[in-house]
Structure 1
Amino acid sequence: MCAWSPAMTHDPAPLDFASLVPDAHPRRFLVLPPGFQARAEPDAVSPVFAMAPQALMAALDSIALGEPRTQRRRQDGGQAEYVQRSKVFRFADLITLQAFAHEGGSALAAYSRAQVGYYDFKVNQRRLERWIAAARQADGKAK
């Protein structure tokens, strides 16, 4: 198995979602909370979850680590980053998650991106949609 290497990405840690300028290639997907002030235009807006940000991050950690070939790279300052590898070629995608307090609950900032290649066949979009759907199910009261 190929280990994750810090040389694979040039993203700063922790990732600043407000100043993020996403990769221009169609190999990434960005979700931001409703009304979040950022330089980037999100690909999708996060639902609002009834649970607190810490509970949302705990649920997402369980969801992420429950997927095959996924490892937590780091978790600090309320932000977590995961590496998920493709089944056949073991290409690495990085997924950064951070929950923010929003309307008495929380909303998610998430950035999933391929580290190699030009196009990802919407793998990153489908991953974040799947993880958000699972978190909504765990929440039971997401709007």
Structure 2
Amino acid sequence: MIKLILLGVVAAALALAAYIRLAPSDPARWHEDPRLVTRPSTPNFHLIRMVGGDAMPRVFQLAPDALATRIDEVARADGATLLAGSVQAGHMTYLTRTQLMGYPDYTSILIEPAGEGAMLLAFARARFGHSDMGNNRARLERWIAALDDPALND
């Protein structure tokens, strides 16, 4: 009897892991504008925007289309997949997965003109769980750091 219960628990854990790994990602649900999102009630996100964000956006001395191209290159080099939006529109949402369990995270990027340059607004969040252990913030900081060429920033 104990073997059957243990087998059932293992089977349930495997089914949950498979669901998390294989659940489809609806672009309409996850492609959001960082300026307009409501802050989640859980701490599994990081938000960069002018008002109500966790961090203020930075201005880069690049045209908006050039900044969108650069952040797309950085995101893809980091293993992200474009889920929705386009570089041409300057509004992209990327799917990334945690290394061990493959939990999906979504990062929406919006590039806006700012004077002679452009600024990057972002909303990175986990799909499952209460806490992301700082992964979304770390990812955004890593991507922005990759843009940290003195010739690009003001």
Q: TM-score, normalised by structure 2?
A: 0.77
Contact 2:27 2:84 in 1 (8 A): no
Residues 85-96 of structure 1: pairs in structure 2 closer than 5 A: 85-96=97-108
| Inter-CA distance 4–105: structure 2 relative to 1 (3 Å threshold) | farther
CA deviations over 1:26-69 (Å, ceiling 9, x no partner): 0000012xxx4x5xx1100121100011110100000000013x
Identity of aligned residues (%): 25
| Inter-CA distance 3–57: structure 2 relative to 1 (3 Å threshold) | farther
| Number of residue pairs the alignment of both structures matches | 133
Letter in 2 for 1:119: S
Q: Which has the larger radius of gyration?
A: 2
Larger % of helix: which?
2
Larger % of strand: which?
1
Contact 1:8 1:115 in 2 (8 A): no
| Inter-CA distance 9–22: structure 2 relative to 1 (3 Å threshold) | farther
What is the aligned partner in structure 1 of residue 58 from structure 2? 47
What is the aligned partner in structure 2 of residue 5 from structure 1? 24
Determine if the alignment matches structure 1 residue 104 to structure 2 residue 108.
no
SS at match of 2:147: helix
Letter in 2 for 1:26: P
SS at match of 2:148: helix
Structure 2 unaligned segments of length 5 or more: list them: 1-17
Letter in 1 for 2:132: D
Contact 1:31 1:45 in 2 (8 A): yes
Letter in 2 for 1:129: E
SS at match of 2:70: helix
Structure 1 unaligned segments of length 5 or more: list them: none
What is the aligned partner in structure 1 of residue 96 from structure 2? 84
Determine if the alignment matches structure 1 residue 75 to structure 2 residue 92.
no
Alpha-carbon offset, residue 125 of structure 1: 0.6
| Inter-CA distance 9–115: structure 2 relative to 1 (3 Å threshold) | farther
